[in-house]
Structure 1
Amino acid sequence: MHVAKELSLPCQPRVLALLMRELLGDVPNMRRVNQLFGGDPVLAAQLMQCANSSVFQMAGQVRGIAPAIVLLGARQLKGLLKKAELGLTVRATAGIDMAQFARISHATAKLARNLAALTGLDGSAAYMAALLHALGQIILHQTQPERVAVLNQEASIWDPRRPRLEAKHWGYSANSTTAALLRSWNLPSDVVASIQSLEAPMATESFDPMAGLLHLAVWCSRAKHVGWSERTMADTFPVDVALALGVDVDVVLQQEAIDWHQSMY
């Protein structure tokens, strides 16, 4: 599986501008900084890459956005944002609406954090993993545009059935590409493994609760986004995963509905 060494991962200019303004203030509101990083999967990914680099001697140990922000501090965060600012001149990724990409990733992350509270799992790690899980789509759209364009005619990247189609046509899914990228960036190995197996958490030799949680969060957010009816969602809901996690199917389906058109800012 190919992961380009130099990637053009486009962040949202508005989020970048808000972060720069916040960090240039005399007393930055770090809670606001946390919220802004948590709303952009590309900036969050770059933050996690930096925090888990050898520079801070914390490779493979930083599991959430908040501790990463504390570890870097204001000066390092400004440097990260200036580097991201240089990437704004990169052309948009064909086939992906990046504003929509960020909204759906953010909504999935919030749902994952809610499910973590129900299951006693690490909410910070669940949020971070769900926020970043779809980065592989950007990579594939940039490195294999013709192959991806063919599959896009069959199902959108947010269709809950999309990963199975990717595995059928390519032998792997975009989630595997995400996992390969995050592994190369030294993110926690257990979180990377959960992303790797999130599409088929029941197929692993030993059930990984975090992979199961991510599976439910991703499946539900995508089904809601593409407009599946309540009946369709109930009929196709991954009951076996919910049972393995020990959560009630109705509780999962009744999680607060997402307004996909509402700005997170």
Structure 2
Amino acid sequence: MDRTSLPPMSRGVYADGRTYELPANWTPAEPAVLEVATAQALAALGAGAGEPDKVRRSLVKYFDPDGKYAGALFSTIGPSQSSADDITAADLLAVTTLSMTLDPRQIRQLLDPSSKRTQVLRALRQIDTSIPVQDLGSGGLDPRPMLSAISDLYRELRATPKPSSTRWVFASKLAARKRPNLLPVRDNVVCKFLAGERNLSHTTVGSHDIDLQIFGYLMSHPRVRDALGHWWSELHAEHGSVVDDVTPLRLLDVALWNAGIASGYAKV
């Protein structure tokens, strides 16, 4: 087939003007969705219409090692980095720190030899550990195979035994534990907050392909990155090395979650 007759390739966009290729079955995020999400993120970080003092208090409280929230424990519990291409008991324990209750069948499927574990690890091993969400397609890399593997990973994790309403949340949290610079923690609180006043039933925010593009856009936005750098420094001054392994993407997750809870969205 003549390449001139091929349909135009779908591309994701970054806030700094760069673009990257999307798999054929991924829909590009609409500019209006990115615009709303950016305004919401800046507010959550106290860099837009937000309240910096309130943001500081909520982040310091969340990452307090003597507090009731997961804080840095989600990132640091167990040897996550040394087992980046495996699913371990420490990974599942980390997920439970984010208010997830795991089904025993779910645990067995992911830890014991099984077809489910084989499929999950096959997808996981195709997802690069070094590429952050704001650098897809860097260096001439075609990110489509990896993005397709991300879809495969989410699909396999969603299919583990669990009430259907929270399967996607479990998939998101475990995937974020394994690829903390690339895959964000997502739940209804974060997705509803990013969608602003939109009704989620009428928008694609909440779908992993759209959400990944949104987080890539946010993490490439200079004001978002500046705010994240500021808050990481503040947290380090408050809690020291406790936050050393908290990635900027995870810090953004937490800021969005805090803002969503403060806005009255129900936890999942």
TM-score range, shorter chain: under 0.3
- By relative contact order (CA 8 Å, sep 6+), the higher-ranking structure is 2
User: Structure 1 length as normaliser, TM-score?
Assistant: 0.25
